[in-house]
Each structure stands twice: as C-alpha cells, then as structure tokens.
Amino acid sequence: MPTKPTGRPRGRPPGVKNKPKTIEEFVQVELTAPPPKPPRAKKAAARGPWAHMTPEERKAYSQKLNAAPRKGPPPNTQTPGKPRDLTNAQWAEVQEIARLDAKRIMQKMKDAGQVPDDPRAAEALEKTVETLRTAESAKDKIAAARLILDFTKAKPAQKTEVTVRTAEDILDEMAEDDDR
C-alpha cells in the first residue's frame, strides 16, 4: 500500500548515483571536465512590415502612416439603442418621427399647464417622451411612461371617511333602541 505524500522527496535525489564520492575525485572531475557553455539568449523573430527595414526606411514608413487619413468606425458598427433590423437611415427616420411627435405632445401638455417651469426639466421630459416613442424593449417603455406620469399627473389620494360620533349621538341611538 503506497504511503501518503508528505511533500518531502523519498530516496536518493536524481543524478547523485554517478557523482564523485570524495573531495579528491570531485576536484579531479572538475579539473578535467570542460566548463559548460552559457546558454545563449533567444533572439526574437522580427515581425511586421518594418522588420527588415533600415532605421531611415522605418522613419519614412511611420511618417507615411501618420500622414494617411484616418478611417472612421467600421460601417457595421451597432448604434446604441438602434434595432438590428433597421439601417441607420431607417433609424434616423424613426427618431425624427418620434422627435416631432414628442414636440406635439409637449405642446399639448404646455397648453394644459402640465409642463414644469424649469426649462431643463421640460427638456428632460421631452426627451423622455421621445424615448417612449422610440424604445424597443417593454422595460424601457414602462420606465419612461412611469417617469412621465410621476411628474405630470398627481397620484390619486386615498379617501378616508372619518365619522366622529359624539356622546349625544350614542345616547340618542340607545334611546331609540329602548323605545322599540
């Protein structure tokens, strides 16, 4: 049955069997054996178009690259918020329709007196209406609708009817019950 590993090596270390046993043998082996060659550093392979260029050629090449006009983002970059099935032109059209619709709704709200006085708040409200019209996910639509309702409509107040009965009322009721 094998023993449990303890973390300490068991037995003789590798390579000890053939080493010299005495100091004299060790000195003799060391004097007769040639010294080991130091390991050579590995040379990294040159990569890229400038690998086999002279410094002057590399400088000219880098200046040429820096002078070249920069390209814009790749044509298939996804615009945030845009549905994948629409092109950029179609999405711009949808946003323009939503913007006009939001302006029309905001004008109706101004006429009704529901727009806040602060112009920044009115602008934020208009942007929220626009988001409500262009949003694809139901989560975004619900969040925008809730935000609009919170700031334009008053929440319904709960009506509680409190009737305070006086002592005379109680006595009158008791008197009526006794008469019967």
Radius of gyration of the chain (CA): 44
Query: Between helices 119-134 and 138-152, what is the axis angle to 10°?
Result: 150
- Which pLDDT tens digit goes with each residue over 88-138? 889 889 999 999 999 998 898 888 888 888 888 888 889 888 988 888 888
Query: Range with the lowest mean pLDDT among 108-117, 137-146, 169-178?
Result: 169-178
d(CA 126, CA 103): 7
Single-letter amino acid code for the residue at 107: Q
Closest Cα partner for 131 from 84, 123, 119, 89?
123
Average pLDDT over the chain, rounded to an integer: 81
Single-letter amino acid code for the residue at 11: G
Residue spans per domain, the chain: 88-152
- Which pLDDT tens digit goes with each residue over 16-53? 777 778 889 888 888 888 888 888 888 777 778 878 88
- Return the pLDDT at 3: 64
- Return the pLDDT at 75: 65
